[in-house]
Amino acid sequence: MRKRVGLTAFVLLVGALLVGVPFVWGSDLLGPTADYAAPAATVGESMAASEAPTRKAAPAPPTAPPLPPALLHPATVAVDATGFWSWTVLDRRTGALAGSANANSAQRTASMIKAWLASDYLRRNPDPSRSNLSELSEMIRNSDNDAASYFWGLDGRSASITRLIQTCGLTDSKAYIDWASTLMSARDAARMGACIGDGRAAGPKWTDWLLNEMRNVAKDQKFGITPALPASEQAGTAVKNGWIARSDGKWHVNCLAIGGDWVLSVLTVYPASKGQGYGENICSSVAKQLQA
């Protein structure tokens, strides 16, 4: 009788324990086991997916507002003139060029090339003597031909024009006989002006000095483009004009001006009987029309 009671009590105890296991297993009182770890991992992955931010397409970069026209800008130009004339205007902010249909036709530069002769020397000789610096100033301000011949020699003559083409990215120009006979198109002259203005030509040390010299050329050499500009712009415009009546009976009058956001070049060739003023007036007419 005692054995049967003991066995019954044991069975009742085991039954009570088995009834309690599912509740304890599903509670937070026990840590995960190998059998329970898989659902936990699944829950973790689901949470990561639900918490991940939704990706949106990157917004388009803001469009820069269009630049206002430069003081001198592309426009229709008409000049009633005998002989050859061409022009190019360059936007210094963008490098954009516009010009006459014959803007790629090369003509003799005359004294216009002196701005490059000074640039080439100063870039390669950043510590010039006082004497040479004075000669450079005379060459730019007063268009001294002897000084130009001197620096033409120091610059290596035609080698200087080769460097000009390479440094300033010219496409229509070449050396010919002497410095005054250098052949250059209107669009290349504008490129040269931009090259001087941005420092590639004379280098960082001397660019400001050279531009100041070009802003202070002798009064009788500020013909053509400068008088056609608003009075407020004239003093700040750098110029180097070229003019020569050659033995072939023709005047070559060329104008180069560098403004704050533009460069303009005008080349002319016409019968010598018309005088220098004829070419000067063509330069002025083009500059006026490009301000319209």
What are the residue boundaries of the structural domains of the chain, listed by start? 84-289
pLDDT value at residue 54: 62
| Alpha-carbon dihedral sign for residues 106, 110, 112, 114 | positive
SS3 239: strand
The mean pLDDT of 135-144, rounded to a whole number, is: 98
What radius of gyration do the chain's Cα atoms show? Answer: 40
- pLDDT tens column, 101-120: 999 999 999 999 999 999 99
Reported confidence tier of residue 15, pLDDT bands at 50, 70, 90: very low
pLDDT value at residue 59: 74
Tell me: pLDDT of 145 over 90. Answer: yes
Alpha-carbon span 84 to 77, nearest angstrom: 14
Sequence-distant (6+) residues with CB within 8 A of 82 are 270, 271, 274
Closest CA relative to residue 278, chosen from 268, 288, 289, 286: 268
The CATH class of the 84-289 domain is: alpha beta
- pLDDT tens column, 181-205: 999 999 999 999 999 999 999 999 9
Tell me: pLDDT of 170 over 80. Answer: yes
Closest CA relative to residue 195, chosen from 86, 74, 95, 71: 95
Contact 155, 120 (CB under 8 A): yes
pLDDT value at residue 55: 67
Alpha-carbon span 38 to 280, nearest angstrom: 92
Cα dist from 49 to 54, 95, 119, 232, whole Å: 10, 52, 66, 66
Reported confidence tier of residue 51, pLDDT bands at 50, 70, 90: low
